[in-house]
């Protein structure tokens, strides 16, 4: 009898040790909630999918949903993901992240294309990770570096307008970050905010009338209306320094750019660690992507702007 008990105990220990690999999931379902269709966000989603597929192969499947720019739709999408018991949620852009946060505190959530997690999630004592079921990657670029682009290209400008959507926390955060830096450089800075797409044209017109240069942060509403903004600014001969490459390609002259595909790739690698290696999302620090100076050759030529050699032309 003693030998039988010893054998049972030994077998139990073997199975316990083998459990992480022997009973690993055969498949994973990942819900993707993307705020709006836009080149930058599209690239982040694709990078995420490619990296996770590379790591897990056909074990992973994706349920992709686009909220068409509506925060309420993000909430519906994320709640459905929770009902469907997906294994992980990718929240692409801040409104999607907030919707996922409200929908679940159990399913791992990874954000991407989010600038500032501390502000978005209302975390006062920020230490690099959320301490919750949320982590991800940031598309943030240092305010001092962006302000330096304005100074480098437009040293004689007097008035800089900050053009962004008042309803996007990330945009306000970036405006608040760069404003004092520009003021220290000697610029007079004013905010020009639109509530939604309906008043983009009017607000952009006002900004162009009052300013020598505009700065637009990584703003989803502005990105969705880049062509409209570009038409107004070129007609009034007002240059735009943009917070990201996609926006710069649409209506800007220069930017400090990250690759959103690479940003998504990093997020996908984080997801693989969570799903296949059991990494604790609550202790995973927010990760970032490197940036480079880039310019919109077409707009620079139209406005007669010569950029230094350190700037790389955005592919057209």
CATH of 24-140+260-285, one of 3.40.50.2300, 3.90.470.10, 3.40.50.970, 2.60.40.10: 3.40.50.2300
Helix H or strand E encompassing 120: helix 117-120
Q: What was the pLDDT predicted at 277?
A: 95
Structural tokens at position 144: 């001092």
CATH of range 143-257+293-313; options 3.40.50.300, 3.40.50.2300, 3.30.2010.10, 3.30.1510.10: 3.40.50.2300
Q: Where are the alpha helices (DSSP H) in 185-312?
A: 200-210, 220-224, 226-235, 245-251, 260-277, 297-303
C-alpha span between 246 and 257 (Å, rounded):
9
Partners of residue 90 on adjacent β-strands: 32, 110
Place of tokens 């930017």: 255
The pair of three-digit structure tokens given for residue 7, joined into one six-digit string: 């054998």
DSSP state of 59: G
pLDDT score recorded for residue 24: 57
Match 């990657």 to its residue by tokens. Answer: 137
Query: Looking at residue 169, what is its pLDDT?
Result: 83
Mean pLDDT by 10 residues, the chain (316 residues): 46 42 72 94 97 97 97 98 98 96 98 91 90 94 92 97 92 93 98 95 97 95 96 98 93 92 96 96 92 95 96 90
pLDDT tens track for 214-237: 999 989 899 999 999 999 999 999
Q: What pLDDT score was predicted for residue 11? A: 46
Domains 24-140+260-285 and 143-257+293-313 agree in fold: yes
* Distance in angstroms (rounded) separating the CA atoms of residues 52 and 134: 18
Q: Per-domain residue ranges for the chain?
A: 24-140+260-285, 143-257+293-313
């Amino acid at each position: 009898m003693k030998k039988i008990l010893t054998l049972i105990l030994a077998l139990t220990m073997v199975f316990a040790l083998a459990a992480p690999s022997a009973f690993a999931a055969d498949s994973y379902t990942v819900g993707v909630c993307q705020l709006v269709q836009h080149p930058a966000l599209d690239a982040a989603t694709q990078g995420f999918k490619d990296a996770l597929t590379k790591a897990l192969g056909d074990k992973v499947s994706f349920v992709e949903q686009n909220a068409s720019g509506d925060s309420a739709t993000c909430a519906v999408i994320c709640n459905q993901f929770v009902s469907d018991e997906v294994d992980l949620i990718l929240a692409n852009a801040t409104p999607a992240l907030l919707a996922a946060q409200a929908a679940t505190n159990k399913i791992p959530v990874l954000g991407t294309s989010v600038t500032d997690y501390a502000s978005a999630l209302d975390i006062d004592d920020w230490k690099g990770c959320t301490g919750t079921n949320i982590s991800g990657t940031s598309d943030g670029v240092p305010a001092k570096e962006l302000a330096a682009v304005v100074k480098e290209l437009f040293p004689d400008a007097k008035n800089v307008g900050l053009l962004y959507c008042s309803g996007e926390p990330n945009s306000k955060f970036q405006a608040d970050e760069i404003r004092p830096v520009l003021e220290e450089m000697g610029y007079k800075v004013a905010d020009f905010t639109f509530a939604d797409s309906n008043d983009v044209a009017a607000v952009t017109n006002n900004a162009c009338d009052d300013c020598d240069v505009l700065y637009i942060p990584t703003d989803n509403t502005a990105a969705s209306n880049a062509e409209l903004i570009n038409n107004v600014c070129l007609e009034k001969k007002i240059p735009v320094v943009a917070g990201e490459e996609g926006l710069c390609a649409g209506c800007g002259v220069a930017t400090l750019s990250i690759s959103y595909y690479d940003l998504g790739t990093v997020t996908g690698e984080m997801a693989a660690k969570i799903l296949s290696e059991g990494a604790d999302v609550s202790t995973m620090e927010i990760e970032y992507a490197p940036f480079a100076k880039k310019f919109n050759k077409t707009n620079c030529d139209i406005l007669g702007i010569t950029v230094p050699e350190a700037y790389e032309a955005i592919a057209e």
